């Protein structure tokens, strides 16, 4: 039976919730990127990285890079969390921002919708988003993407949907019992 490790990086807890749900459903160990050790990685056969998207950046990829050599013989997956409207768009954007992504040989990459509530954010994010909101509100020709971001800043939203994890859970289950 394969040992699965889920490593997450989450600022406001949404990615952590997805990681915890996944761990419960496939019997995996779940750890924050801050607590994970090289031994944890060496002991696992399957490693799932989960990280949220901030300004088109996926900071968990720093952890993937750090352990890249130890991951060579493992089955490695990535899931990301954000407010981009579709998984296709989110994943294609991540691939543009990180052109070396293929070097990590992820077996699959997933995207799950997150949530945003400006009132629960730290002051840096609150100020940053308030500035973006003001800037966008002056635009008469917002793109679909900008409109979506503006709405997400303006109206607290929660688009978490654990059922979207089913395809990843199925892939992991087939690995466990292979
Ligand atoms: C300052 C800021 C920038 C963000 N930038 C993006 C982005 O570029 N793309 C995206 O899809 N989501 C973006 N988001 C939304 C977050 O990814 C979303 O709130 C997610 O649920 C956060 O997950 P976490 O609580 O696990 O960190 C941004 C959120 C904040 C606060």
If you measure from the C-alpha of residue 31 to the centroid of ligand 1, how many angstroms do you get, rounded to a whole number?
Answer: 20
Going residue by residue through the chain, which has 178 residues, state the pLDDT in tens, using 9 for 90 and above.
569 999 999 999 999 999 999 999 999 999 999 999 999 999 999 999 999 999 899 999 999 999 999 999 999 999 999 998 789 999 999 999 999 999 999 999 999 999 999 999 999 999 999 999 999 999 999 988 889 889 999 999 999 999 999 999 999 999 877 6
Q: Pick the residue whose CA is nearest to atom 28 on ligand 1.
A: 54
Going by C-alpha positions, the residue among 48, 36, 102 that lies closest to residue 74 is 48
Question: CA geometry: angle at 66 spanning 65 and 69, to 5°?
Answer: 80
Specify the pLDDT at position 1: 52
Residue 169: both structure tokens together: 């859970």
Alpha-helical runs (H) found in the chain: 14-26, 38-43, 60-66, 87-97, 123-137, 144-154, 166-176
What's the 18 CA to ligand 1 centre distance in angstroms? 14
What are the chain's domains?
4-114+159-176 (3.40.50.360), 117-156 (no CATH)
Long-range pairs for 98-104: beta carbons < 8 A, 24 or more residues apart? 98/58, 98/61, 101/61, 103/68, 104/61, 104/64, 104/68, 104/71, 104/76, 104/78
Ligand 1, CB cutoff 6 Å, lining residues? 10-15, 52-56, 81-84, 90, 114-116, 121, 125, 128-129
Q: What's the Rg (C-alpha) of the chain?
A: 17
């Amino acid at each position: 039976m394969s040992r699965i490790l889920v490593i997450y990086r989450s600022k406001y807890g949404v990615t952590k919730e997805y990681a915890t749900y996944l761990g419960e459903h496939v019997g995996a160990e779940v750890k924050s990127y801050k607590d994970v050790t090289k031994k944890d990685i060496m002991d696992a056969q399957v490693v799932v990285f989960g990280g949220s998207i901030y300004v088109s950046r996926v900071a968990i990829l720093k952890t993937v890079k750090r352990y890249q050599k130890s991951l060579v013989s493992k089955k490695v997956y990535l899931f990301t969390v954000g407010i981009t409207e579709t998984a296709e768009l989110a994943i294609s954007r991540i691939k543009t921002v990180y052109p070396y992504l293929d070097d990590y040989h992820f077996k699959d990459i997933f995207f799950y919708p997150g949530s945003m509530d400006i009132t629960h954010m730290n002051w840096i994010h609150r100020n940053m988003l308030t500035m973006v909101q003001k800037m966008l509100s002056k635009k008469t020709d917002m793109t679909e993407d900008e409109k979506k971001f503006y709405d997400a800043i303006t109206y607290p939203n929660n688009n978490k949907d654990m059922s979207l994890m089913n395809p990843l859970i199925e892939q992991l289950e087939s690995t466990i019992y292979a």
